[in-house]
Chains A and B, each alone.
Chain A
Amino acid sequence: MAKSDKNQNPAKGDVQEPGRRDFFVVATYAMAGLGAAAVAWPLIDQLNPAADTLALANIEVDVSKIAVGQSITVKWRGKPVFIRHRTADEIARANATDIADLRDPQDDVTRAEKPEYLVLVGVCTHLGCVPLGQKTGEVRGDYDGWFCPCHGSHYDTSGRIRKGPAPTNLEVPPYNFLSDSVIRIG
């Protein structure tokens, strides 16, 4: 009884105590909100990659067949990945570079888990073309790594940008060696 008396005196200016009706209204709106979220979630989550797309998120590559000095390109998440079996000379030149000279300073050790095999995402960091240098006879640029024909970016034997408009080094994708001959990318 006291509660309803209070609610009948709004003119007094004091705060009304919430009654049953207010509780119901708030609870209903809260449930409606939860319901709307529950309905919306599957409709939005279905936009996320489906199970078959996720299954292609990781690939395994056998690198033992790649001869010294040879490079292969594999497709990973829709993009080309360069895997180069580097010669001793290429590794030495990569290590000999002064890091301070680089636009995107990174030493070779951090870029290759095993120095003989260099794994890079073959997409130029400037505007996205696929650089040349994988096939025998292709231009490798001034630093004997890769050369992007679109706007003239030169990458070295560690895939680092040396000359041209690209801002950063060729990306190293997440990968690890499952065994001496098989790597898993992604």
Chain B
Amino acid sequence: MSAEKFQNPVVRWIDHRLPVFSMLDHEKYDYPVPKNLNYMWNFGVLAGMALAIMIVTGIVLAMSYTAHVDYAFESVERIMRDVNHGWLIRYIHMNTASFFFIVVYIHILRGLYYGSYKAPRELLWILGVVIFLLMMATAFMGYVLPWGQMSFWGATVITNLFSAIPVVGDSIVTLLWGGFSVDNATLNRFFSLHYLLPFVISGVVVLHIVALHRFGSNNPIGIDASGPQDTISFHPYYTMKDMVGIAVFLLLLAMTVFFFPNAMGHPDNYIPANAMQTPAHIVPEWYFLPFYAILRAVPDKLGGVLLMFGAIAVLFILPWLDKSPVRSARFRPLFRIFFWLFLIDAILLGYLGGKPAEGIYVTLSRIATAWYFLHFLVILPLLSMFETTKPLPKSISEPVLGSSGRSA
């Protein structure tokens, strides 16, 4: 197979033994992609890029960071002041973390809207949720490393959650801490795991892409491609489209890094950790706020923990909650309305997660949490049973090309 395409003898020698060149060529030219993908399909590549940036900047930061409670905060300040371009690398690392979550949330919302989680892509979706969970663990541990006030107290609050588990809860927390509170043992193991998990994420991303390539991408109208007239090669069309998206992503990232590098962070994390004094309001980073709101909405400690993890668990079983044979929200008018309501609810939960757990905020959090679960566990199943969907087009090309778009 490599014989046809490559003339360079070195390339042929390598490809015969390790078909990297054939593989790349296949992905670029032979792999069929629906021709109607819109910009919502850019976000997977952006997520991959964000992961790469995080790994490169992270490995470089690890060269100057010291994971010891007495030196951690100072080592970060040294990076900011003394290490050549240290401030730049650090700001890129912490802001790309936020951008990684922005891009992944949009990527997930795309999946929800266009039904990308439906058969035969259920496993692709589940792998994605696994990646999301690993990202959350990695980000949580990464935030602890600078050993600021929020690092320390965020770690204390979240690790304390596990004490809610009956019987073994306290033992588990002691195990996690490696001591009687969040301290040096905790910081060291978090550094080790924070370095490890991105490579685990990379492995799951590979599986995610393999699963994707089994059936190819979904598309905005949710109908399978019926032949070559409905698809185009990845290169040059989607390589170029992705580059536009990448350019916008890098532009926004650069604007943030150079002009508003601390906008998405919390000023309290520039105060060295003090085990004797809790900050006025402990808040996690913005991307955890919706789950934080759900956690605090439930008056019972264990209940809050269960619901918080449950909020992600429902994502795992989504393909079985929404069994509507119509994939795309474009042809599901009722589903579309509830999608936007869900999005508003998720944003509301995020807003509430950043507020103190008092007064009206508590009430609203409970309503918003209830709506979140109602959406997945009640509304989606009901919709899939009773919704009248709009008639689907005959093929991908048909809405654009008319009858000539149908397969011969």
Question: Chain A interface (Cβ within 8 Å of chain B)?
Answer: 42-43, 45-48, 50-53
Instruction: List, in ascending order, chain A residues with CB within 8 A of B63's CB.
Output: 46-47
Question: Chain B interface (Cβ within 8 Å of chain A)?
Answer: 56-57, 60, 63-64, 78, 81-86, 88-89
CA distance A45 to B81 in the complex (A): 14
Give me the 10 closest cross-chain CB pairs, A-B, nearest first.
A42-B85, A51-B82, A50-B82, A52-B82, A50-B83, A45-B84, A46-B84, A46-B85, A46-B83, A48-B84
- Which residue of chain B lies nearest to A54 when distances are taken between CB atoms in the complex? B82
CA distance A48 to B63 in the complex (A): 12
Inter-chain residue pair count (beta carbon < 8 A):
34
Tell me whether B83 and A42 are in contact (CB under 8 A).
Answer: no
With A47-B63, A50-B84 already in contact, the answer to whether A42 and B89 are too (CB < 8 A) is yes
Interface of A (DSSP majority class): helix
Instruction: List, in ascending order, chain A residues with CB within 8 A of B64's CB.
Output: 46, 50
CA distance A186 to B193 in the complex (A): 42
CA distance A125 to B85 in the complex (A): 36
Tell me whether A42 and B88 are in contact (CB under 8 A).
Answer: yes
Some 13 contacts from A to B, beta carbons below 8 A apart, are A42-B88, A43-B56, A43-B89, A46-B86, A46-B89, A47-B63, A48-B84, A50-B78, A50-B83, A50-B84, A51-B82, A52-B82, A53-B82
Q: Nearest chain A CB to B218's CB is how many angstroms away?
A: 31
CA distance A144 to B60 in the complex (A): 49
- Which residue of chain A lies nearest to B59 when distances are taken between CB atoms in the complex? A43
CA distance A45 to B83 in the complex (A): 9
Partner of A50, one of B60, B86, B88: B86
Q: Nearest chain A CB to B118's CB is how many angstroms away?
A: 38
Tell me whether B78 and A45 are in contact (CB under 8 A).
Answer: no
Having A43-B56, A46-B85, one finds 16 other A-B pairs with CB under 8 Å, namely A42-B84, A42-B88, A42-B89, A43-B60, A43-B89, A45-B84, A45-B85, A46-B63, A46-B83, A46-B86, A46-B89, A50-B78, A51-B81, A51-B84, A52-B78, A52-B82
CA distance A74 to B109 in the complex (A): 64
- Which residue of chain B lies nearest to A28 when distances are taken between CB atoms in the complex? B243
CA distance A42 to B86 in the complex (A): 8
